[in-house]
Amino acid sequence: MSPVLAGVLQLLALTTALGLAHRPLGDHMARVYSSDRHLRVEKWIYKGIGADPDTEMRWPAYLRGVLAFSAVGVLFLYLLQRLQGSLPGSLGFKSIDPDQAFNTAASFVSNTNWQSYYGEQAMGHVVQTAGLAVQNFVSAAVGIAVAVALVRGFARSRTGELGNFWSDLVRGVVRILIPVSVIGAIVLVACGAIQNFAGIHEVGQFLGGSRQWNGGAVASQEAIKELGTNGGGYFNANSAHPFENPNGFTNLFEVFLILVIPFAITRTFGRMVGSLKQGYAILATMATIWIGFTALMMWTEFHHGAPAFDIAGGAMEGKENRFGVGGSSIFAVASTLTSTGAVDSFHSSFTGFGGGITMLGMQLGEIAPGGTGSGLYGMLIMAIIAVFIAGLMVGRTPEYLGKKIGTPEIKFAACYILITPALVLVLTAVSMALPTPPHSMLNPGAHGFSEILYAYTSGANNNGSAFAGLSADTDWFNTTIGLAMLLGRFLPMVFVLALAGSLAGQRPVPATAGTLRTEKPLFTGLLVGTILIVAGLTYFPALALGPLAEGLAS
């Protein structure tokens, strides 16, 4: 079988699996967030944290819950790493340095999972399981909670109430993330991923010599790493490591885990706003961009233009033989179009255009399908921008899902889409202008610039993947990328929740003959165009200096 055909068949199998999971998972999530009943274990948790799950919250209270919970998460994870050297189960590893501990704490709480450390050489079992794995669950649940609050904003009228943050958080973890992760972990263990608390083993190498490896609860962390679109690997090689991702099937299964919630939540959205067709329109927009990017990535990576490519059957530098060009391309696009950031190949080694595609995927705002929850709310913000543009064209007050998109809503949406580009472009420019940060670049010229642009794009968009080649374990990068991750995560949430509160307070506007039909393919096309144009106008100059310049020169 040719590598191209194998890649296409993998994509077809993945699409089929996602299609099969879409309805049951989407409906399940809608039931979870609409139910009045609390499970017994949830009641124990509410009692433990002193929260009343039945109190309705307006957006400022909901946001206070998000911020308080996340701030405590950062401080706890920071402390855990700083005290690792004194804790049991640390495998003898010393405490993490302050700047790196801050970076890692910000990274895992913000659902970014940028790692400026080698997992197998720095983090013991306690930090991995009690710190990083816990954040993999709760940071994903926070994202879903904020998305659900926005959906309630569309679904509710004449009330500013958006639900209860603590209830949404706990239900997301207990009823969605843990059950699916358990199934995912069992599949991964069955396929060869490791799951133990072993210490360090001396392992003989095929080509001679030996290497030391520690064990760990890898499969369970791998499942939530992908399902929660987190991406932080147990090992430095991430999903290119055979302990995390043993074979071609697990590679595809991990991509499935990455995409399943972000795609299924569009059905949850349709259910909760009372129109499945609206959910399908959002799904179609996400799927169009995802398939388009995957096809483009495969084309650039399979494209034979040099003798080395012809011999290898594609651009194989930095890619695993177990997964090939097809599996690596599918993984790279899924990882960077969501907020996952896991890798099974090294994006720096992709062709110039291939590297640009991974970067552009993040720069779109990771909305196709995006992170768990964050993908949906990012896409709904773009939908509001799209109906606003359509309203300007025909001279009507824009409406979306029966709500008027007036001045406050547009202000919130506009602020949302400006935050991340501002963080990325300003921090990249400052890093390039200062004398020391460019010393961390492994390569000169356009590729070196891409390394820094990619780092801030990944951090501020809460992706977490690394281009490779940048020595980011410096005070400057640890601190500034840490700040970019926190601000890139929580500032947009302010505007999402403010928008939700504003929408929930409105009375519904009845649809008329002049209302833009947002469940139709025309709107899907408009939305895709809006996303590409907004991202293109924002990032094109920076992309032209990096991956585009490199791609055109090669």
Partner 1 sequence: MGCVKGVHPAVWETSRAGAHGAERGFPLIVRSVPHLIQELTMADVAFVVTTIAVFALVALIAKGVAKL
| Ranges within 497-526 binding partner 1 (CB under 8 A) | 498
Q: Which of these ranges, 87-95, 144-152, 274-282, 394-402, lies near partner 1 under the rule CB under 8 A?
A: 87-95
Residues between 346 and 385 with contacts to partner 1, criterion CB under 8 A: 346
Q: Is the dihedral of CA 473, 425, 441, 349 positive or negative?
A: positive
How buried is 202 (Cβ within 10 angstroms: 0-12 exposed, 13-18 middle, 19+ buried)?
A: exposed
Q: Cβ of residue 35: shortest distance to partner 1, in angstroms?
A: 29
Q: Which of these ranges, 162-170, 427-435, 492-500, 531-539, lies near partner 1 under the rule CB under 8 A?
A: 492-500
Residues between 219 and 278 with contacts to partner 1, criterion CB under 8 A: 231-233, 236-238
Among 6, 8, 21, 87, binds partner 1 (CB under 8 A): 87
Longest dimension (CA), the chain: 75
- Choice between 62 and 523, CB closer to partner 1: 62
Q: For residues 354 and 11, give the distance between their C-alpha atoms in angstroms, rounded to a whole number.
A: 17
Q: Which of these ranges, 178-186, 304-312, 493-501, 508-516, lies near partner 1 under the rule CB under 8 A?
A: 493-501
Q: Using the structure block, give the residue that is written with the tokens 């669950």.
A: 137
By the 8 A CB rule, do 141 and 519 touch? no
Q: For residues 45 and 175, give the distance between their C-alpha atoms in angstroms, rounded to a whole number.
A: 13
By the 8 A CB rule, do 108 and 131 touch? yes
Q: Cβ of residue 172: shortest distance to partner 1, in angstroms?
A: 21
Cα Rg, the chain, nearest whole Å: 22
Among 33, 46, 53, 90, binds partner 1 (CB under 8 A): 90
Among 483, 509, 532, 545, binds partner 1 (CB under 8 A): 483
Q: Cβ of residue 437: shortest distance to partner 1, in angstroms?
A: 13
Q: What is the DSSP letter of 345?
A: B
By the 8 A CB rule, do 232 and 113 touch? yes
User: Is residue 294 involved in binding partner 1 (CB under 8 A)?
Assistant: no
User: Is residue 290 involved in binding partner 1 (CB under 8 A)?
Assistant: no
User: Is residue 102 involved in binding partner 1 (CB under 8 A)?
Assistant: yes
Cis peptide before 444 (omega within 30 of 0): no
User: Is residue 62 involved in binding partner 1 (CB under 8 A)?
Assistant: no
User: Is residue 85 involved in binding partner 1 (CB under 8 A)?
Assistant: yes
Residues between 20 and 49 with contacts to partner 1, criterion CB under 8 A: none
Give residue 353's identity as a one-letter amino acid code: F
Among 6, 8, 83, 312, binds partner 1 (CB under 8 A): 83
Residues between 448 and 467 with contacts to partner 1, criterion CB under 8 A: 455, 464-466
Q: Cβ of residue 68: shortest distance to partner 1, in angstroms?
A: 8
Residue 406 has which token pair?
A: 């007036």
By the 8 A CB rule, do 482 and 106 touch? yes
- Choice between 89 and 246, CB closer to partner 1: 89
User: Is residue 70 involved in binding partner 1 (CB under 8 A)?
Assistant: yes
- To 10 degrees, what angle do helices 248-273 and 218-227 make? 40
Residues between 380 and 439 with contacts to partner 1, criterion CB under 8 A: 408, 411-412, 415
By the 8 A CB rule, do 196 and 234 touch? no
